Structure 1
């Protein structure tokens, strides 16, 4: 098995988790860690004894022995840094979202194409065993025709100064909705409110309509008394949920719906049958995501969340942001 030599750039909130998972994989050497803060490097160095620490990304780009770089830097830097990584001939993992605009995302895809290197976007929930089970159930036809999907991603905090709830929280949910629906919306709408900081929405409500007739609704907020991370899929026969906060029964199927009453003329009666929870493997999604990236680097396979997948998410987020801006103008608020 070919040893894959990796580096991680960005060691703030999430970067150390990526580094930890990569360093623990068989056939992987974590040889570089990069962060602009010297003190961060000093604090984390004992946890990653095989890695060299630097404040300069160029040190990683100039290392001919380095195969790939994982970027966990601030969102506004994702596209530009990913372009540099790919131009240096390195495979690139970039945290979600891929970019803050479709134009920037398309440039990263073009750089990956020119370099002939793997580009993978860290849409973590698509590797969650619970989401995989929910998609398996939906795709099997067990729920019937899918009518609509809705998600709640709520908590009290953390307040952001550089991005609103749509971009901070919605990147997760948009990726899962697109993953489940397997199509992009033909219509989007978004409304939000800024209560804690002017111009930065703390709560956002999104609506998506698809050509198939399916619909989706997202409730995103870091100003809420509840901590929820839940998706619900409503079908013509049954319904199912994925609740990431549940300790057990993360995926639940409900035999609920409407049945046409025998001998009636189009009248329906409600059905409330069994409720059950299929087994969901207890594996860390981030470990699965990192394993997948390394395997793609090793074999040249296309990642599940490749550049095109990341571009689709950015395209929907950008359209939702446009509607969010328009809704502000309509009520006389500042964009």
Structure 2
């Protein structure tokens, strides 16, 4: 079993640590908060602890480095890990610029190392099931993809809600649409911190006619994670909070010169009871051991970065005057 080191033991890092420990692959934990390391040492005896990530790079037992540190550090840590001969799983966003993302992809390619991005929702069984239904023609001509990721709290001071929330949704939308968007619209509102958008609306237009709408906010009273695909013959709805997938067939017919929508009976689709993050971690280990390219590899991370930058450019240009 290949061994990994987790750099960053905060809220999300602790989840990654738990998963890799469950899989028997956790070798080391690195965090600058020594009190946090002391707490984790009681949970994971026998694991190496350090507050210096350079020590991780020198550890020959570490084959993979998992990065869940603040996003502004992703590029530097990932680059050092690749140069040290480690395979890398870096949390989203991969970096904070396309240029840095391209450098990571080039470094990984030249050193023949795995570079994987933590777009965890791509490892949820609902997403592949939705893609199968779309490709089967069951929904007919595809019209819209709606995605909402809303919550209250955990307000960031470095990255806005677009960079914090949208990588998951953009990754999913690009996969389902099967292409890069060619038209963009984006608008953001900041109420709490200057130049840090709390709520963002994005529209993406694809060459095949699909239009995606994304709503992202950490200033919303209810937690909502929904993905909806609408076609001529029906819609499919995934509720990420309830972990529920439903197929809603419909017809759009002409009646007396007008278009009328007629709904049919809703079908609930059973999903395997798996933890997406555990599946993501398992996939990283598989890629290390088999030297295969991850589902969410550096190129996929780069495509997401390009969409993020295009949307951010529009938001920055438009500004918020509300």
Query: Under TM normalisation by the shorter chain, which class is it?
Result: over 0.9
Structure-to-structure mapping, 1:108-257, within 5 angstroms: 108-246=104-242, 250-257=244-251
What TM-score, normalized by structure 1, do the two folds share? 0.93
What TM-score, normalized by structure 2, do the two folds share? 0.96
1:258 correspondence with 2:252: yes
What is the CA-CA distance between 1:270 and the residue it aligns to?
Answer: 2.1
What is the CA-CA distance between 1:243 and the residue it aligns to?
Answer: 0.5
Structure-to-structure mapping, 1:1-335, within 5 angstroms: 3-25=1-23, 28-246=24-242, 250-260=244-254, 268-328=259-319
What is the CA-CA distance between 1:50 and the residue it aligns to?
Answer: 2.5
More divergent stretch after superposition (290-299 vs 167-176): 167-176
Please state whether the residue corresponding to 1:192 is helix, strand or coil.
strand
1 CA distance for matches of 2:35 and 2:111? Answer: 34
1 CA distance for matches of 2:89 and 2:112? Answer: 14
Please state whether the residue corresponding to 2:146 is helix, strand or coil.
strand
What is the Cα-based RMSD across aligned positions, in Å?
1.5
What is the CA-CA distance between 1:260 and the residue it aligns to?
Answer: 4.3
Please state whether the residue corresponding to 1:177 is helix, strand or coil.
helix
2 CA distance for matches of 1:268 and 1:188? Answer: 29
What is the CA-CA distance between 1:60 and the residue it aligns to?
Answer: 1.1
How many residue pairs end up in the alignment? 322
Residues 285-333 of structure 1, C-alpha deviation per residue, up to 9 Å, x if partnerless? 101101111001000111000000000001100100000001118x5x9
Please list every run of 5 or more consecutive structure 2 residues that lacks an aligned counterpart in the other structure: none
Please list every run of 5 or more consecutive structure 1 residues that lacks an aligned counterpart in the other structure: none
What is the CA-CA distance between 1:24 and the residue it aligns to?
Answer: 0.9
What is the CA-CA distance between 1:39 and the residue it aligns to?
Answer: 1.2
What is the CA-CA distance between 1:131 and the residue it aligns to?
Answer: 1.9
Segments of 4+ in structure 1 off by > 3 A? 266-269
